[in-house]
Amino acid sequence: MTSAVNVAVLNGICHIEMARPEKKNALTAAMYQSMADALADAEKDPAVRVILISGSGGSFTAGNDLADFLATPPMDDSAPVFRFIKGFSELEKPFVAAVEGVAVGVGTTMLLHCDLAYAGAGTRFALPFANLGLTPEAASSLLLPLRAGYARAAELLMLGEVFNAQTAFELGLVNAVLPDGQVIEHALERCRKLVAQPAASIRLTKQLLKRSQQVLIGETMRAEADVFRQRLVSPEAKEAFAAFFEKRKPDFSRFG
């Protein structure tokens, strides 16, 4: 595993920790690769009954490390980011998230695939795809309207504004909001309770809960990925990325 991802299996729980705290756990291709591998290994490992994901240093993840992202853009399905997204969307075992600090981009969209998710009161969420000249990922264009309603989903995905933990709870992205600093222990307690449940019953219950959406999720993710790859080389995306690195406001007025 890359040094920026810690993976430990203990007492039936596979704990995947994003560990790049100096960058608020901004994700690189190497980190995506490690996490995709960890998910695949956890699914196959009979000793693992629950998968928990969290971030170190008081942050969940600030989303993509844009410099790394542009150096190794995800241009086909084998890209680590797409492997990771496909991996968590198809998990048969319970997937739990402990979210604190910031949850940007995939840090928010992956919560739509979690079976249980808990956030610290101070957590800030954002879906800034449109702000970067890009489009939604991880079937969020399907799942967020189903979860939150079209109007709220459109506001979050089109404007890309930051929202707080209470709003995330009201939208159904997290199960509960906890005092900052208490999230990981609460999530571990929930994981331990899941470990004690009949493993086959839990997997089958998850399968039934997701049965009506699973085909649509796969179709939506493929459609999103096609558009996302096109948008990566669009003039708007190039302007957004240039503005980010030049620390200025992007100007999209030239583009139709």
Any idea what the CATH number is for the domain that residue 113 is in? Answer: 3.90.226.10
| 59 located within any domain | yes
| 48 located within any domain | yes
Mean pLDDT of all residues belonging to the chain: 97
Q: What average pLDDT score do residues 217-232 get?
A: 96
Query: What range defines the domain where residue 29 resides?
Result: 1-180+200-256
Q: State the residue for tokens 């998850």.
A: 206
Q: Using 50, 70 and 90 to split pLDDT, how confident is the model at 256?
A: confident
> Does the pLDDT of residue 2 top 80, yes or no?
no
pLDDT at 1: 52
Mean pLDDT is lowest, of 73-82, 126-135, 186-195, for 73-82
> Does the pLDDT of residue 5 top 90, yes or no?
yes
pLDDT at 205: 98
Q: Using 50, 70 and 90 to split pLDDT, how confident is the model at 3?
A: confident
Q: State the residue for tokens 């879906």.
A: 127
- Grouping H, G, I as helix, E, B as strand and the rest as coil, residue 14 is strand
| 185 located within any domain | no
Would the CA dihedral through 221, 155, 99, 80 be positive or negative? positive
| 75 located within any domain | yes
Residue type at 189 in one-letter notation: E
Task: Read off the DSSP letter of residue 234.
Answer: S
Q: Using 50, 70 and 90 to split pLDDT, how confident is the model at 66?
A: very high
pLDDT at 84: 98
| 237 located within any domain | yes
CA 36 to CA 78: how far, in whole Å?
A: 11
> Does the pLDDT of residue 10 top 80, yes or no?
yes
| 138 located within any domain | yes
pLDDT at 86: 97
| 195 located within any domain | no
Number of domains composing the chain = 1
Task: Quick: pLDDT tens for 82-126.
Answer: 999 999 999 999 999 999 999 999 999 999 999 999 999 999 999
**Alpha helix (H) ranges present in the chain?**
29-44, 66-71, 80-89, 106-109, 140-148, 150-159, 165-171, 183-196, 199-232, 235-246
| 192 located within any domain | no
Task: Quick: pLDDT tens for 176-194.
Answer: 999 999 999 999 999 999 9
CA angle 52, 53, 54 (to 5 degrees): 125
Q: What average pLDDT score do residues 70-92 get?
A: 95
CA 160 to CA 157: how far, in whole Å?
A: 5
